[in-house]
Amino acid sequence: MTTLSDPPKGGFRLSMLINDTRYRSYTFQFIALIALIAAFGYLGSNLVANLKAAGLNISYRFLGEPAGYDINQRLIEYTSQSTHLRAAMVGALNTLLVAVVACFFATIIGVIVGVLRLSKNWLVNKLMGVYVEIFRNVPVLIWILIIMAVFVAVLPQPREFRGDDATASMVLGSFAFTGRGFYFPKPVFGPGSMIVVLTFIASLVGIWGYRRYAKQQLFDHGRMVSTLWPSIGLFFVPTILMFFIMGQPITLDYPALKGFNFQGGIYARNSFIALTFALSIYTAAFIAENVRAGILAISTGQTEAAASLGLRPGRIMNLVILPQALRVIIPPLISQYLNITKNSSLAIAVGYMDITGTLGGITLNQTGRAIETVLLLMAFYLIISLSISAVMNVYNNSVKLKER
């Protein structure tokens, strides 16, 4: 707040530091700065004194030492002889994995529920309302614990698949849903599979190009070119053809019960699934509300105007409502993604080895380096959060209403 009055004539007096608005802000800032430095100095000197009294020091050397413990879910090479730093990286990747997967499912569930909440079907409408309210109003930690407990208690364990009178069996002979997690067939890429994958990527590019062409035709010549069936054709046909031409280089590795566990295939652990599922359905309840609010925010006049132009309902949704609703939906959506990432730190409640479990858990326990590990942990989350915020800002700027 600046004043526009003429500055008083005359020399500078000390009392102007507090009474004159031109200088007062400098006084305040100076005081704030001094207070800040004093506070940090105070905390720092306490830290030094405490560490000295305890004979400890701050050192990140432990990161280079062998961790000594095993981690069950590893996205990169890791053994118990790897370093603590490596363990932290394994944990960080696990955090990112669970966050990305949970964001994906949360969005899908959230959008479906959000749209269904606006459904004219009274029963579905109410049911979705109940779902949203129940999940939004109970702490996510409780949901994680409940889902883990239910998961372990309800699904059959590998031992029930064993023997002649097994009480459980695999679905389609290739999927096993057990209390320890889900086992899926894993694709094995043999020689020549690269070409199949390349073909697939090429056909995706082809679909994109074709759709672009169709749009061009529509805008330039007013001709409607069918896109659905050619797209589907492009998606499947070349890849499948190439798959057989190359002599079926991609095979599936089926899980099979050997010894104590299923072996082979992809193993999604119970902790991972419980955490992902809990985070997804918890956050989906919030996303559903955002989606609903976004759609409701578009005034009915828009729909009516679009209809009066002769657009069909599907096109009204695609061309008029959604582009505008997205502007409202996406910012809160991204902050929900941020929440998922942060909430994924609750993984320790179910023993999922994310970065809070490795760096902030076992490494902290084993080395006793509390300050160092907690600082690293915070830095990691901070970097993720700030990156997501940066993305959000870029998006917000790009969709900002251009006022002229």
Q: Does 390 participate in binding another protein (rule CB under 8 A)?
A: no
**How far is it, in rounded angstroms, from Cα 131 to Cα 206?**
41
Q: What whole-number distance in Å separates Cα of residue 82 and Cα of residue 64?
A: 9
Cβ closest to another protein, residue 29 vs residue 248? 29
Q: Which residues, including other chains, have CB under 8 Å from residue 186's CB and lie 6 or more apart?
A: 252, 253, 264, 265, 266
Does 207 help bind another protein (rule: CB under 8 A)? no
Residue 124 is a binding residue for another protein (CB under 8 A): yes
117 touching another protein, by CB under 8 A: no
Residue 401 binds another protein (CB under 8 A): no
By CB under 8 A, name the one of 6, 11, 13, 123 that touches another protein. 123
Of the two residues 242 and 275, which places its CB atom closer to another protein in the complex? Answer: 275
Q: Which of residues 247-266 bind another protein (CB under 8 A)?
A: 258-261, 263
Candidates 41-49, 188-196, 234-242, 304-312; binding stretch for another protein (CB under 8 A):
41-49
**Which one of 1, 76, 224, 401 is in contact with another protein (CB under 8 A)?**
1
Q: Which are the contacts of 154, defined by CB distance < 8 A and separation ≥ 6?
A: 179
Shortest distance in whole angstroms from residue 202 CB to another protein: 37
* Number of other CB atoms surrounding residue 84 within 10 Å: 26
Per-residue x/- marks for another protein, 131-150, CB under 8 A?
--xx-xxxxxxx--xx--xx
Rounded (5°) CA angle 83-84-88? 120
- Which is closer to another protein, CB of 237 or CB of 371? 371
Tell the smallest beta-carbon distance from residue 241 to another protein (Å): 36
- In angstroms, give the least distance from the CB of 223 to another protein: 31
3-state secondary structure of 93: helix
Total residues contacting another protein by CB under 8 A comes to 93
Show contacts with another protein in window 70-99 (CB under 8 A). Answer: 70-72, 80-81
299 touches another protein (CB under 8 A):
no
Would you give the binding string for another protein spanning residues 351-380, x where CB under 8 A is met?
Answer: x-x--xx--xxx-xxx-x-xx--x--xx--
Residues 157-186 touching another protein, rule: CB under 8 A, are 157-160, 179-180
3 belongs to the binding site for another protein (CB under 8 A): yes
Q: Is 25 in the site for another protein (CB under 8 A)?
A: yes
Phi first, then psi, for residue 395 (nearest 5°) are -65, -50
Regarding 47 and contact with another protein (CB under 8 A), the answer is: yes
Please provide the size of the chain in residues.
404
Token pair, residue 119, equals 């459904």
Contacts of 274 (CB under 8 A, 6+ apart): 144, 147, 148, 151, 350
Which residues 6+ apart lie within 8 Å of 395 measured at CB?
Answer: 330, 331, 334
Residue from 75, 188, 205, 382 in contact with another protein (CB under 8 A): 382
Contact in structure between 143 and 340 (CB atoms under 8 Å): no
Residue type, 184: F
| Burial class of residue 271 (count of CB atoms within 10 Å of its CB; 0-12, 13-18, 19+) | buried
Q: Please identify, using beta-carbon distances, which residue of 326 and 388 lies nearer to another protein.
A: 388
The alpha carbons of the chain give a radius of gyration, in whole angstroms, of 29
